[in-house]
A and B are shown apart, each in its own frame.
Chain A
Amino acid sequence: MTSETSKKAHLPELEELAPFCSIVLPGSGQFLQKKTWRGITIFAFSLILGFLVLWGFANYEIGAVQIGNMIYSWLVIPLIFYYLWNIYDAFVLSTSKKSPILIAFLAGAIILYVVGWYVTDIKLDRLVTRFDAAKTVMYKIANPDFFSTQEGDKVVVCGWKCMWNAVDAKLHGETGPTIFVSENVGRIFGGKGKITATIWDVWFGNAKTPGERIQGFQTGKIVETIAIGLMATIFSTILAIPISFLAAHNIMRRVPGGSVIYYITRGILNIVRAVDTVVWGLIIIVWVGLGSFAGVIALTIHSIAALAKLFSEEIEHVDPGPIEAIEATGGDFFQVIRFGVIPQIIPPFLSYTLLRWDINMRSATVIGFVAGGGIGFFVLETIRQGGYQQYAAALWAIAVVIIIVDFISSRWRNQILKDQPPTEAKVSVWKKIRKVVYFLIGAAAFIYCWTITEINLKDLFNPGSTFGQLLLDFISIDLSSGVVKGVTEQLVITVMQAFMATTIGGILAIPFSFLAAKNLTGKSRFSSWIFYISRASFNILRSIEALLYVAIFVFWVGIGPFAGMLALAITTFALLGKLFSEAIESIDPGPIEAVNAAGANKLQMISYAIVPQIVPPFLSYLIYQWDINIRMATIIGFAGGGGIGLMFSTYYNSLQYHKAGTVVVGIVLIVALMDFTSAKIRENFV
């Protein structure tokens, strides 16, 4: 009691004054009362909300209302509420009571959604008025160009109805339409066609010189895509390993001057990671020219940065015990790494490589949009020609490949992370032979992929003549006010696209995730059908990158940020739906039992036993998705989805590299800022 009173006597001024500081500077009162993060958050949000209201009014007249002679945005009202809440909060804090954050939350949400709604150009009426367009495109997606039939002297796509007619006719012994495999299938999966001869063709005697045009087996675009993903994964893993040691603090601490190298490496990795693979692709094509090779390099660069970061974190988290023990025996730096570090990091490294393979396969499907190789290039071409049924066939092919890759990758990962079985003393001959066969198959596959992705190391060391100029132009960014204003505008749109897509997709995912959680759907036949259908739709929707969806929504609602936002929302819905349902499946069943035993009904059970358990994982997945969406939103413009990507490709295609450089700097800054924010949110609130 005495200590409390003496404490109060000591600090009367600060405790009483702190709330008043919030009147002058939002958040400062909370900051002074030792609620550091609360204060910083309130301050940062007041800046963001204030900027959005002012900027939105100045550029778009968002929320403009006229009162007498004054025209101003009504969004000032929630802003004032936010400000008043901040003062109220500071005063409540000083009485050490709990302060309700609902008002701040509502005020912030109103401003974010109104501005977001406006800048992402959301026009819900178009979803309805242009429903016919949607029906057309949906019909085409549902009837992909896999089979064709002859109609008069024209070859047309044979959809489900046509195939049904053929089968029906056959069953009744009549002559129906003749069906044959479409040319489109050959382009996607491979078939006979003109190809450029490789050294292997010369070796087998099919051609005289490499580069000659000969008749042969044309590689399918989807096969090319698989090869791009595979090569990029192999190259990036090999290159990321040495780099990861440079970015591991516990290793570099042991080397003189290591800390400097550590910070430089980490910084470069973060910058490289912030720029999306697709943007890297644009820079690379100037270097080595259009083609699969450019795609491989772009993916490799981005993967090196991502893998090296994960690898280095893994190195930093190794058990220091063995290192200490080896140092104690007098081992030197390299011996410590060889015997103390490497054995510990092999399983996690392999697991990350597999995960990255999965990600690279997804990136490989879109890299062709800019770099000109793989299925992405095919998709771009078919959309330009309005061949939506050919595009649909590509989407289905991608979905199948990605689902298989996903399955293999997660299965191998689980195997790796399980405890290794003790090594057998005697390895059977068959196992040895099997190993050799596996190795030979692997080597053959590697050589095949190397050939079809047209990897050419000579090109790599002989960049295009304009590349030097491009780099110089990129580095000397254009900071004139017009460009900066434009970039700012597009960045706001991009962030808002990601924000709207994440929240809308996330909210939609919640009810559906309950249907896809095995522990809730029950065991009856009907409910297990619901479970399988919802899980399958999540997996199929999830396997296609947002960039590939844009074309559908452009057809439906027109070119612009709305189409891009919808494409992002679809992928968000699918990924979060899957993650949410897995989170629901992993909850503790005990409380459900207890609440049921007390006689609660189903709704009460969900709200008391399930909801409190799933709020934290849901929030953290939402933030994870937000990180993904911010990156995706920066490239969604390449396909007509609006935002900063559109601006970049416009500047880039008109050879205005100074301005394109400014855009890249903007992207790097915003992605880094968002990464930092989400990391902090995760630390402090989830």
Chain B
Amino acid sequence: MLKIENLCKTYPNGTQALQNVSFEVAEGEFLAIIGLSGSGKSTLLRCINRLIEPTSGKIIWNGVDVTAASGKEIRNIRRQIGMIFQQFNLVKRSSVNTNVLTGRLGYSPTLPSLFHVFSKEDHENVKKNLEMVGLLDKIDVRADSLSGGQQQRVGIARALMQNPKMILADEPVASLDPVLAHSILKYLEQLNKEFGITVLCSLHFLDLVHRYATRAIALKDGRLVFEGLPKEIDDVQFKQIYGKDAERVEIV
């Protein structure tokens, strides 16, 4: 479904965020991406939908070369890929309703959307998706009046508006406490298992990887250092990924 070949990203300041990263993702997988802060996880996820331009390498999404796509084409690819962010990235002053509707922008004609006109179906889908994440009663409140966990659930509803075939989740639970982390990841698991949406999710905590992921890859200093099943990450692998001073911590 998704094939990454020799992906490299060098930032203008010389940082080599990704170096020759290659891997494949099959449809229906829950792929965890692990690694220290600054190891290139965010850059990798953002290269896949080209929020960041890769320096070299190829990304093949369902047979289409993402790296070669033009402006219009990349927007068409992006709208099939949902994204969830660590800082939720909601427009704080806009209502939950508007925030969820922004997930539909890639499908909506420009002019009506600028005047906040969306199809009836879109409005119904907002309700459906908010109900799914249990926030239907909050549809008219402003995003900044919600708690962190609630904001992330709005973020999930927004991604669902795109009818995504795949979801990219960039540390979706790093800003949340452990209990909420499980609730958010359970939603992602549900999407993965019930709707067959492929999930690429970067995570900090190894026990979350064990609990939710079907497969894992690890990055260190921009290089792929591990690829395999979560349970294969033993102590030796662990030290290799996180450095020799690291120690395992358990959450909840």
Residue positions of A touching B, CB distance < 8 A: 588, 590-591, 593-601, 603-604, 607-609, 612-613, 615-616
Chain A residues with CB below 8 A from B159, complex form: 598
Q: Is the CB of A600 within 8 A of B114?
A: no
| Chain A binding surface SS class | helix
Chain B residues with CB below 8 A from A608, complex form: 91, 94, 98, 102, 105
Chain A residues with CB below 8 A from B104, complex form: 598
CA distance A600 to B89 in the complex (A): 15
CA distance A598 to B122 in the complex (A): 14
Q: Is the CB of B158 within 8 A of A604?
A: no
**Smallest Cβ-Cβ distance to B155: which chain A residue:** A594
How many Cβ-Cβ contacts under 8 Å join chain A to chain B? 85
**Smallest Cβ-Cβ distance to B103: which chain A residue:** A598
Q: Is the CB of B110 within 8 A of A604?
A: yes
* B240 CB-CB contact with A under 8 Å: no
Asked, given contacts A594-B158, A604-B113, whether A588 binds B106 with beta carbons under 8 Å apart, the answer is no
Q: How far is the CB of B199 from chain A (nearest CB, A)?
A: 15
Chain A residues with CB below 8 A from B91, complex form: 591, 608-609, 612-613
Asked, given contacts A603-B110, A607-B114, whether A595 binds B105 with beta carbons under 8 Å apart, the answer is yes
Q: List 26 A-B contacts (CB under 8 A).
A: A588-B89, A590-B88, A591-B90, A594-B89, A594-B102, A594-B158, A597-B168, A598-B79, A598-B82, A598-B103, A598-B161, A598-B162, A599-B76, A599-B77, A599-B79, A599-B106, A599-B162, A603-B114, A604-B105, A604-B108, A604-B110, A604-B113, A607-B114, A608-B102, A612-B98, A613-B91
Q: Is the CB of B93 within 8 A of A600?
A: no
* B85 CB-CB contact with A under 8 Å: yes
* B87 CB-CB contact with A under 8 Å: yes
Name B110's contact: one of A597, A598, A601 (CB within 8 Å). A601
Q: Is the CB of A596 within 8 A of B78?
A: yes
* B209 CB-CB contact with A under 8 Å: no
Which B residues from 146 to 169 make CB contacts under 8 A with A? 155, 158-159, 161-162, 168
* B51 CB-CB contact with A under 8 Å: yes
Q: Is the CB of A590 within 8 A of B89?
A: yes
**Smallest Cβ-Cβ distance to B140: which chain A residue:** A98
Q: Is the CB of B106 within 8 A of A590?
A: no
Please, what's the 1-or-0 string for B55-84, where 1 marks a CB less than 8 Å from any CB in chain A?
000000000000000000001111101110
* B43 CB-CB contact with A under 8 Å: no
Q: Is the CB of A600 within 8 A of B75?
A: yes
**Smallest Cβ-Cβ distance to A609: which chain B residue:** B91
Q: How far is the CB of B55 from chain A (nearest CB, A)?
A: 15
**Smallest Cβ-Cβ distance to A607: which chain B residue:** B114
Q: Is the CB of B75 within 8 A of A599?
A: yes
A-B contact sample (13 more), CB < 8 A, given A591-B89, A598-B78, A604-B105:
A594-B158, A596-B78, A597-B49, A597-B81, A598-B82, A598-B106, A598-B161, A599-B106, A603-B110, A604-B110, A608-B105, A612-B94, A613-B91
Q: How far is the CB of B185 from chain A (nearest CB, A)?
A: 19
Name A595's contact: one of B102, B107, B110 (CB within 8 Å). B102
Q: Is the CB of A599 within 8 A of B78?
A: yes
CA distance A92 to B220 in the complex (A): 61
Q: Is the CB of A598 within 8 A of B83?
A: yes
Name B90's contact: one of A594, A600, A603, A604 (CB within 8 Å). A594
Please, what's the 1-or-0 string for B90-130, where 1 marks a CB less than 8 Å from any CB in chain A?
11111000100011111110100110000000000000000
